Structure 1
């Protein structure tokens, strides 16, 4: 039997041709013309006034918090169920992440928990579109406004999703997408930050390039510009090689998202009668991207053995993501029991646009056998 990977990037001749065009142009570095095209595409996708291409989503989270003035002594409330990059970004700024528990159905941050965690040291909230399912943005925006807090959308997994008819990447003060190889659209590595805040966008763009104007912009100036460096900056630019790939991928986003939703619908139908195994739950007011398709298994099923059993039969599988409060790096004792349970019970199944019905039948058949 053929192996079925957990995920597979949907790339081909169009992406190769875009890379060849960059090679021909001679401009391979970051913040060049392809990066600008990618930024225009994300502005159109999200309806935001500003977009900045970056080397990864983690860099975007770091720069967003830095531009929002987060520093030592500050607390930032963070959705607990996420890849640790979300919590690490707070640590990069010398601040303290305070982890908030999540909803049992969507694994997105629970707004009621958020409000209970606010203290005089709280500066803001980072909510996550968990595995591509949008968070409760109406409630979160109301809480942030009520308490004078900033709100960051970690949209790493949710390009192409919607909540209450609005596109992901348009919520809060700033949002950050990922272009990692496992995401719905990819350039291997990369990220894009979107915002309507012009001052924040300017700070992020400058800080992503050591605090100076890009070399591409300076080379086209009619006078010599010699940068100065009044404050610390970073090298978080996205190369134009990767940006060119991402531009092609963004043009195919609707195609990919439609295919993933079809795969998810087939899974839900096939899994409906598998004892002890539960398909993901999505409220009617949001459209997920299905970056990951994670089932939840009952307590009598050995979750880890299920994952390893799938792998033993050539089927890619993994955990969903992490309960960050359990990670030693954070040194926290703040309990998040729902997130802990989701972390211990979720199983990611193969998910990518080209996944065939035949392969899905095989995946679910193996899950059924192992769950017994």
Structure 2
């Protein structure tokens, strides 16, 4: 229907179009060019990280990070179970085995106690996930990683702009990985970034993400004709300069976008606080939540599929939270993560984006509150 309230929606306009036009005029629209370099510098400043590498998406950033951190055949990487399976996929692409770890029921981020219990002599690293725009407890995770001699990666796919105890997402552990997919808080349609404060990790990832050779931009500055040599198997994981130009504008928009999403989240929480059929999302003390998604936990008596049907029939988009990865056939059903499995069954996301008008918020709330009791099993 034409008056559908979208689950997610990008905020883009003339500024992004002007930035794209400037890239067209520059003559360098491919990846790893001068606009990408400007975006990388701006994103490093925003994430308090020394290095940023722009990538084609978050999955390629994750794969590069895990590969460069040394994950390989015979290794195990502990992965927060409640995540889009890209996190586990990225581990598998290195040849290592993802070992899924249960999450906390309130934030859906990795459970530090379960994490420490899962460490074996094959464990080499940790992949923690920032669910829905809120960081995991990285102060504690960094202590656990240091204690056991493990590397720590942050899957910050939905968390650009999020904070934990005064530190921004992307500044934790050994590497952070972001998504700029169309449903994320800042977006170029597709795209990603790898952040790190390790110069050696950045140098290796930078080489590998461009086929394993020095970038064309670097070679273009030479007065002679340098011919690169391929001495290492690389990938083609570059972000185009067109997308990088969009991201520079999106970074400027980010504070306003976060403020608008926060306003929506606060309105939802105020209106649903007394509803016994839902549990509201929690923001942990010390965290700044950027609300990539607003996820309710339904009472067990509510039939989620029926509730979704009712909302969609009235033009309200909705969805699940994300996936309990250990339940996916690819991973072999070898583990138990009961909290994640429960959230997978009961999480329910409602429209969340920076463009939601007051009348749309009111409509979502009215339809949801009317439909919840009718959807009880």
TM-score (norm 1): 0.99
**Residue of structure 1 equivalent to 2:128:** 127
Which residue does the alignment assign to 2:263? 262
1:306 matched to which residue of 2? 307
Provide the residue aligned with 1:336 in structure 2. Answer: 337
Report the equivalent of 1:271: 272
Find the residue that maps to 2:359 and give its secondary structure. helix
Are 1:275 and 1:371, in contact at CA under 8 Å, matched by a contact in 2?
no
Q: What is the 5 A alignment of 1:213-232? A: 213-232=214-233
Match of 1:81 in 2: 82
1:83–1:321 CA contact under 8 A, matched in 2: yes
Cα distance between partner residues in 2 of 1:304 and 1:217? 53
| Greater Cα shift, 308-317 or 48-57 | 308-317
SS in 2 for 1:252: helix
CA-CA distance at 1:337 after TM superposition: 0.3
Give CA-to-partner distance per residue, 1:254-307, whole Å, 9 cap, x none: 110111111100110111122311210111211111001111100000012212
Match of residue 316 from structure 1: 317
CA deviations on 1:80-100 (whole Å, 9 max, x unpaired) are 001000000011011100000
How far apart are the structure 1 equivalents of 2:283 and 2:312?
Answer: 27
1:102-160 CA distance string (max 9 Å, x none): 00000000000000000000000000011111101011000000000000000100000
For each residue in 1:296-342, what CA deviation from the matched residue of structure 2 results, as whole angstroms up to 9, or x when unmatched? Answer: 10000001221222111111100011100000011132100000111
CA distance in 2, matches of 1:332, 1:88: 15
Matching residue of 2:28:
27
1:266 & 1:72 partners in 2: Cα distance? 48
* Aligned counterpart, 1:293: 294
Q: Distance in 1 between matches of 2:68 and 2:172?
A: 17
Query: Structure 2 CA distance, aligned partners of 1:40 and 1:304?
Result: 45
Q: Give 3-state SS (helix, strand or coil) of 1:151's partner.
A: strand
Within 5 Å, give how 1:62-211 maps onto structure 2: 62-211=63-212
Q: Structure 1 CA distance, aligned partners of 2:271 and 2:226?
A: 62
SS of equivalent residue, structure 2 residue 360: helix
Q: Distance in 2 between matches of 1:175 and 1:189?
A: 17
Where has structure 1 moved over 3 Å in runs of 4 or more?
Answer: none
Q: Report matched runs for 1:6-45 at 5 Å.
A: 6-45=7-46
Ranges in structure 1 where 5+ consecutive residues have no aligned partner: none
State the SS of the aligned residue for 1:124.
strand
Match of 2:54?
53
Q: Which one is further off, 215-224 or 226-235?
A: 215-224
Q: Distance in 2 between matches of 1:153 and 1:304?
A: 32
Distance 1:168 1:145 in 2: 19
Aligned residues: 372
Within 2, Cα distance between the matches of 1:222 and 1:174? 35
Shift of 1:252: 0.8
Q: Residue 360 of structure 2 corresponds to which residue in structure 1? A: 359
| Structure 1 SS opposite 2:178 | strand
Task: Output the CA distance in 2 between the equivalents of 1:199 and 1:284.
Answer: 34
| Aligned mates of 1:319, 1:221 — CA distance in 2 | 52
Contact 1:28/1:239 (8 A) holds in 2 = yes
Q: Is the 8 A contact 1:270 1:361 kept in 2?
A: no
1:207-234 Cα offsets, whole Å, 9 max, x none, are: 0000111112211212211111111100
Point out the more displaced range, 271-280 or 170-179: 271-280
